[in-house]
Amino acid sequence: MNIKILLVDDEQDFLEQSKLLGEKTGEGAKVDITTDPEVALNEAVEKDYDAVVADYHMPEMDGLELLEMLRERGDNTPFIILTGKGGEEVAIKALNLKVDGYIRKGSDPKKQFKSIVDTIFNRPVST
């Protein structure tokens, strides 16, 4: 199955590694990346993604703000939040905004992308 993912994070290295890993998976993923949440808003509207994955902590707009803006525009694309520092407050806010997945960032990019794909396909997240 081919999937199209928009990945938004302020860490360029993480984005590039995730794109490479994602496009090498057996899932046939096509991964578009951006460090700019404003670009992500436009891309999400213009392209038909199977999922948007965004980091929670970003300088101009956090991932939950991005989710909220997409939902206000009527975009119901499945949305996954990544966070390395999120706590209960972030999780509650994410759930209230009807986030589709909540993943804690790890240090292994390969495992991280596998968790993203598992979440998109509603499979148990492997660790």
Q: Is residue 52 part of a domain?
A: yes
Model pLDDT for residues 55-109, shown as the tens digit of each residue: 998 988 999 999 999 999 888 899 999 887 767 888 888 888 889 888 888 777 7
Looking at residue 26, what is its pLDDT?
56
What is the domain extent for residue 97?
Answer: 3-120
| Among 98, 84, 8, residue whose Cα is nearest residue 53 | 8
For the entire predicted model, the pTM comes to 0.87
Q: Is residue 127 part of a domain?
A: no
Distance CA 76, CA 87 (A): 25
Radius of gyration of the chain (CA): 13
Q: Parallel, antiparallel, or unpaired: how do β-strands 3-8 and 101-104 relate? A: unpaired
Assign residue 87 the CATH number of its domain. Answer: 3.40.50.2300
The residues pairing with 82 across neighbouring beta strands, listed in sequence order, are 55, 103
